[in-house]
Amino acid sequence: MTSDNPAMLTTEFWEEIKNGKLVRPVCQDCDNSFFSPQTLCPQCQSDNWKFRESSGKGSIYSFTIVHRPPDNAYPTPYIIIDVELEEKWRMYSRLLECSPSEVHIGQPVEVSFQEFRGEMLPFFRVERD
């Protein structure tokens, strides 16, 4: 996928979020999943990639607890996570419905689409069976 306008690289990602789907770029030449969307596959430099739907399930690769929010819309403390999705790609998001004392690396999580300031965003919550 190529584009003269870098902002257009994420258009499909945000459109699919509105449809309740989490997608990521998948290289059609080496099958690598990556994030964020960029002109070339970071593994083989091919521009031949497409968005594919993710299961939305993964585990916490790393996290940090934020005590000083950017503004009052964020109840503190809140948890920012680096999620590793099942398809072996990672993204940053916010972990909901989990206290800082319960979060841990390797914890299973799943995507949870929530509206924030009028936009649908892909947050995560602890996966419960």
Q: Which residues bind Zn ion (CB under 5 A)?
A: 27, 29-30, 32, 41, 43-44, 46
Q: How far is the CB of 45 from Zn ion (least distance, A)?
A: 7
**50, 4, 8, 47: CA torsion to nearest 10:** 20
Q: Which is nearer to Zn ion, 30 or 80 (CB)?
A: 30
Q: Which is nearer to Zn ion, 32 or 107 (CB)?
A: 32
Long-range contact set of residues 8-16: C-beta below 8 Å, sequence gap at least 24: 9/36, 9/37, 9/38, 9/39, 10/36, 10/37, 12/51, 13/37, 13/51, 16/51, 16/53
63 C-beta neighbours (distance < 10 Å), count: 18
Q: Which is nearer to Zn ion, 28 or 112 (CB)?
A: 28
Q: How far is the CB of 121 from Zn ion (least distance, A)?
A: 28
Q: How far is the CB of 90 from Zn ion (least distance, A)?
A: 16
Q: How far is the CB of 2 from Zn ion (least distance, A)?
A: 14
Q: Which is nearer to Zn ion, 18 or 50 (CB)?
A: 50
Cβ atoms 24, 129 nearer than 8 A: no
